[in-house]
Amino acid sequence: MKLLIQAHRDDEAVARLRDVVTRFDTPADACLDAASAFHVRGSLDDAYRWYREGLQTVRQDRGRMPYEFLEGILFIHAERGEWSAATDALRAYEAAKIETNMATDSYGDWIEWRRTGHFIRRLRSDQSVIDLYRYIALEAEAELAPDNDEATLKRIDTANFSGVYPALAKSVKAVILERRGDHAAAQRWMRESFDAVRRVRTDPAARAHFDLVAARYARIVGER
């Protein structure tokens, strides 16, 4: 199915997906696979549709986790700069009580930070296994606790992230080093961050944060 979507054979892909959804014990998993493939391809409307459809059938006791669908939806709104819509989507998710085993506060913190550029509270970096949560905890710490920079830099260096998050964390390190006056090191880490994010530019999390990394790169490295 993913190969069909990559090849822009959407009618065939959707027909196969509909068949899979009727036969599988975890139909939401197929929806997430389709949504992710459309998202990577840049077909955001189609991705949004399948994230939403997956949320209608997702289960907490088997298959993919509900927050994965929510994250995809929020990342699409972020890429489009639709922060009010992102807030509405989060509130609807919380009201539906789809996920009862995980707090969603940090998604609200993430939306507010991406909308305004600022955090209103510090977050615990060890509060979750979710990469996004742990990443924004580092961002919040870097902004709100500059006196704690050494500890924040150590956490960045020892963080066990996956996907694009190691590259995003490097941009936090560059921001801290620039603030401390170590411009050469800041530029080196910022270049590494930008190059790594650009290499996976179509990844949903990378798409949602590329404008942030690009702006930091322009400011710290001085290139556009």
Residue 101 is predicted with a pLDDT of 61
Task: Return the CATH fold of 1-118.
Answer: 1.25.40
Q: What is the mean pLDDT of residues 190-209?
A: 97
Length of the chain: 224
Q: Any idea where the domains of the chain sit in the sequence?
A: 1-118
Supply the mean pLDDT for the chain.
90
Q: What is the mean pLDDT of residues 59-80?
A: 89
- Helices (H) and strands (E) counted in the chain, each on its own, are 12, 0
The Cα–Cα gap between 112 and 195 comes to 26
* Residues 100-159 pLDDT 10s: 667 788 999 999 999 999 999 998 766 677 899 999 999 999 999 999 999 999 999 999
Give me 155's structure tokens: 């956490």
Confidence tier at 22 by pLDDT (50, 70, 90)? confident
